[in-house]
Amino acid sequence: MGDATPVVAVQDPFAWEIWPDVQDRSYYRLLVPGQPRPINVELSDHGNPANGTPIQLWDQWQGLNQCWGFEQA
């Protein structure tokens, strides 16, 4: 697993680690558990919000495209 690994939907459940961002605790980071270094879920193309933008795994850095907000449905 390395940078630019695509995130794909599967039927089997997967338990992500979810942690508040250290710079803005109103956002969260989704991480792959059990890794020797933090691997984050990232919205590619510098956080392009357009429909169909790929979601990938990358080493953690301070980019906002690795921060996620959640809304109650």
pLDDT per position as a tens digit, 8-63: 999 999 999 999 999 999 999 999 999 999 999 999 998 999 999 999 999 999 98
Q: Where are the beta strands (DSSP E) in 1-73?
A: 5-6, 17-20, 28-31, 39-43, 55-59
- Does residue 72 surpass a pLDDT of 80? yes
